[in-house]
Amino acid sequence: MYRTVLLAIIIAASISNCCADTSGRDNITFTDAPYTVTIVPGSDASFNATLKNAGVGYVDVSVIVRSVPDWILVNGTSKLRVIRREGSVIYPITIHASRDAPPGTYHLEIADQSMVDQRTWVPVDVYMRREGETLPARIEEVEEGVEEAETEETIAEIAKSSPKLGFIRVQSYPSAADVYLDNAYQGTTDVNWFWIFNVTPGNHTVLVETYGYERYTKTVSVTEGCMTVVSASLSEIPVTSSKTASQKVPAELIPLAVSLLAAAVIFIVIRRHNQNK
């Protein structure tokens, strides 16, 4: 009797927790939408989507996508994350563009998905640009964690103080790669764009490298008051076997080795036979 009552209480509590806020209200929302991503063909670009739970209890949430162009892949949306009441969670989402993606502006949508909340679709604008294309410095994306007004003000001040100079933005995949401008070390990339300010107009060589990957070298053209975009997709160096080819016996020498061994055995047998006579 007591076991039956206890089981009924557990089931009722489970149903109450799982089915809370099923009234159709939109309690889970993106707090930093809409999103804008700038990318060049054959590279990756990442952004963070923040979801907040304004409902009751803990909710398992994932992110889904739709209306994705054929030459774009979206990664990092399938993992379930738990959001507590009045809490938020950050989804790092990566977009990969194929090498044959034509330049232009494209759109896709992402939404939150859970068992207890209606979906909220928000737009993601993807700006596909050519490698080395220059952009006005004032309309570039804002780095993660930096206020938009402060970033635009900083760029405006630099452009005003150095009107005859240009800018270079570098992103690498993977990140944490060393950046060189004309063989001079500039710093290390992270998940966001790496900025190089006060670059003289003209052609410059950008080199990006990290351990285990082949060096990426690109000659770019910098113009006054504009920003040049460099997105470096590094190729991993293949791991070679510890046994080199010089340590292996060539296949054509195997029959000769067998013949010499057989001749040696026959010589030993004949010699012992003659000694026993």
Asked if the 134-233 domain carries CATH number 1.10.1040.10, the reply is no
Tokens of 272: 């012992």
SS3 category, 248: coil
Asked if domains 20-128 and 134-233 share a fold, the reply is: yes
% residues pLDDT > 90 (the chain) = 10
Domain boundaries defined on the chain: 20-128, 134-233
**77-86, 95-104, 204-213, 217-226 — which is least confidently predicted?**
77-86
Does residue 158 surpass a pLDDT of 80?
Answer: no
> Looking at the DSSP assignment, which residues form a beta bridge with residue 124?
35, 108
Handedness of CA 96, 100, 104, 108 (dihedral sign): negative
**124-133, 199-208, 241-250, 263-272 — which is least confidently predicted?**
241-250
pLDDT digits (tens, 9 = 90+) for 140-149: 344 444 445 5
Q: What is the pTM of this model?
A: 0.44
Superfamily name with CATH number, domain 20-128: Immunoglobulins (2.60.40.10)
**Cβ neighbour number for residue 190 with a 10 Å cutoff:** 14
